[in-house]
Amino acid sequence: MILGLVMLQLTPEWRKSASGYTSNQESQPVTVLMAVHQGASHLEEQLDSLTAQEHEHWQLVVSIDGEDDGCAKIIENHAASNRISQISGPGKGAAANFLHLMRQVDPGNYWAFSDQDDFWLPHKLSRAIERLEEVSWNTPAMYHSRCLITDDSLDNHRISPARPKPPSFANALVQNIAGGNTIVLNPAASRLVHAAAQDVDDVTVHDWWLYQLITGAGGVVVHDDAPSLLYRQHGANLIGANDGMRARARRLRMVMDGTYKGWMETNLKALKTCAPYFTPENRRLLRRVMAARRQPLAVRMKMLREAGIHRQTQFANSIMWVSVALGRL
């Protein structure tokens, strides 16, 4: 592990991600929200990477979901245990566990979201906060970045896909571009998210909902093309990295078998609840998309094209329009 990290520091991706900012240890406090389920095998390494952050002003809240496989003991024995709080999860899966954290944790700090099995690069929080501090303090803003996808041993690194088009609500309605393990919210966004989460029953995944909520409310989404963490891929990943032909084939199957339509229905129900927080323009866009899904094919295609919904790449757009044509959006 240590040797692999040293070798990684020599790569162009690492040098790119570690350059172009100045670390400020006196900057704002960060609350890290971590949802845990059967995570004992990799949790200690993730806690170590958090402890090694150049930005030192952080605290961690861990929500342990379901039967504990030893995570509580790992946390209690860790060198940073005095900075970690534990709560019990709702026992309804990862998305519900993250929503539970957003409801329970006090807003007003920067919020960062953490998986249980990744490995943060040392500059992750410093870089995110520096970028977010460029946004007006009273504007909700969300940072996210690319990552280095690895195997279970944190080896065989490849960078996650680029995001060529600007973030927008029209994109967020039909695609998630923000990996939750890279997301950091500014204090204004943490207040918005905390308030909105109180009334939302269910979301497909928490990071997609965050992207939709922040853009829908007219907030700022800051995409960083440099990686901020090592994203560990293994058999227990909930969704996994969305790159490569195998991932594309999996996404197409999800359209064909109705999975994607189910995701859309869950998301739209949550967004309808959140609509009071949205700009008038985005409330109209949400209503138009919801109405279009119930129309005959020709009307449905016309309404959604005029709405401007889109995904990030030509291939992804093609899959989206297939789903529209089949009535599975």
296-311 pLDDT, tens digit per residue, is 999 999 999 999 999 9
25-54 pLDDT, tens digit per residue, is 456 899 999 999 999 999 999 999 999 999
Record the pTM. Answer: 0.90
Name the pLDDT band for 241 (thresholds 50, 70, 90): low
Long-range contacts for 304-313 (Cβ within 8 Å, ≥24 apart)?
A: 304/329, 307/170, 308/170, 309/170, 309/171, 309/173, 309/174, 310/165, 310/170, 310/171, 310/174, 311/171, 311/174, 311/175, 312/161, 312/163, 312/164, 312/165, 312/171, 312/175, 312/177, 313/164
Task: Please provide the average confidence, as pLDDT, over all residues in the chain.
Answer: 91
For the chain, which residues make up each domain, given as ranges?
26-232, 244-325
- Interior/surface letters 86-110, b for 16+ CB within 10 angstroms, e for the rest: beebeeebbbbbbbbbbbebebebb
The pLDDT assigned to 17 comes to 44
In order of 85, 111, 316, the CA distances from 189 in angstroms are 22, 9, 28
CATH assignment of 26-232?
A: 3.90.550.10
